[in-house]
Amino acid sequence: MKKETFVTKEQLDEIVKTYPTPFHLYDEKGIRKNMQALKDAFSWNPGFKEYFAVKATPNPFLINILREYGCGCDCSSMTELMLSDAVGARGEDIMFSSNDTPAEEFVYADRLGAIINLDDFTHIEYLEQAIGHIPETISCRYNPGGLFKISNDIMDNPGDAKYGMTTEQLFEAFRVLKSKGAKEFGIHAFLASNTVTNEYYPMLAKILFEVAVKLQKETGVHIKFINLSGGIGIPYTPDQEPNDIRAIGDGVRRVYEEVLVPAGMGDTAIYTELGRFMMGPYGCLVTKAIHQKHTYKEYIGVDACAVNLMRPAMYGAYHHITVAGKEDAVCDHTYDIVGSLCENNDKFAIDRMLPKIETGDLLIIHDTGAHGFSMGYNYNGKLKSAELLLKEDGSVQMIRRAETPADYFATFDCFEIGKKLLKME
């Protein structure tokens, strides 16, 4: 089976004349269409807001596209807060959901007026000591524990996750926060990752809505919002059916009307923190075949490596591969597609059936728009690639330049050896 690409071989042939491979390429048209579909799916909720998970694709050019549609930023570190601040996100346009949080990050988040989402009960006192007060609007992350199942299939194991508070801690946290001056409250939970089912969000919503009703009744707080976080996945393999965001939105609406509205909580806003769903399918890694190796297996060596896309090496994750210009060719060759790192797990595909690949062919590695570039690193001294945007009019804009040796050596600049290295470039 094959997956459709958003870029043609003819377009790539032109792009590589200016920008050498490897590079990540993003599809502006697809990003915009998907963002509008999400807004439409939750338009029934007047307070709905998507907080894009900055960690998924921390590029200001892409974040600004989403911000045109009213999107906020979900941050979990100091630099993500800084990036959000730089693109003009302030106040409740930022959701700060972190764990094991340094005090200075709470201070910066508070300075920006971000909504702070506390991961642990002990963070109440820690936050108060760090910033000198408890914000009037605050959120807590909930972990119900146990296994999370859909139709008897285990989706994930929240009980093993390091995130969130127990039910008892959540209720006590709301009482304590209220006593310290908090006036508006939010609940957040993330129970499963990359779910390719329309049932996940409605099931999560029901859990959170029922807890919210009990919280408001027993603690007397006002629940301003319920944050369904992320977890809506994408079909990495070509045989998977994609999620239907309109069906998901409608499923959440039905549970909202069943649980919250009768409890007098029809003013509760719904928030989401999607990263993979927002960007994943609208990015690809373009790389060139530079070597062929014929030993116990057939290898195609490409000019990208796990530095550019870590997920296959880290998780054994599947990313579909298209050989540009050979989309309709018979897949009658078995290859391992590998990078050049001194690690045997530096493989984009293992025993993958593909058309015959020649040196110089361009390979499109699909679905790298989220957790692709952002998870990169610099092992073996490899440098991270450029990021490019395929604009709606067909033109291409560089939205992040490729790293240079000067970038790699920059943190030695206070030593003589560093100055020597920087002169060598």
Catalytic residue IDs = 342
Compute the distance between CA of residue 334 and CA of residue 299 in angstroms, rounded to an integer.
9
Tokens describing residue 45:
């909720």
* Amino acid (one-letter) located at 285: L
Compute the distance between CA of residue 311 and CA of residue 370 in angstroms, rounded to an integer.
10
Tokens describing residue 75:
């941050």
Q: Assess contact for 74 and 273: CB atoms under 8 A.
A: yes
Q: Which residues pair with 284 in a beta bridge?
A: 25
Tokens 């979990």 locate to 76
Which secondary structure element, helix H or strand E, spans residue 205, and what is its range?
helix 200-219
Residue 405, preceding peptide bond in cis (omega within 30° of 0): no
Contacts for 343 with CB less than 8 Å, ≥ 6 apart: 306, 313, 379
Compute the distance between CA of residue 382 and CA of residue 340 in angstroms, rounded to an integer.
9
Determine whether 169 is exposed, middle or buried from the number of CB atoms within 10 Å of its CB (0-12, 13-18, 19+).
Answer: middle
Contacts for 133 with CB less than 8 Å, ≥ 6 apart: 181
Compute the distance between CA of residue 385 and CA of residue 285 in angstroms, rounded to an integer.
10
Dihedral of CA atoms 170, 172, 173, 174 in degrees, nearest 10, equals 90
Q: Assess contact for 349 and 321: CB atoms under 8 A.
A: yes
End-to-end CA, the chain: 45
Tokens describing residue 212:
């919210």
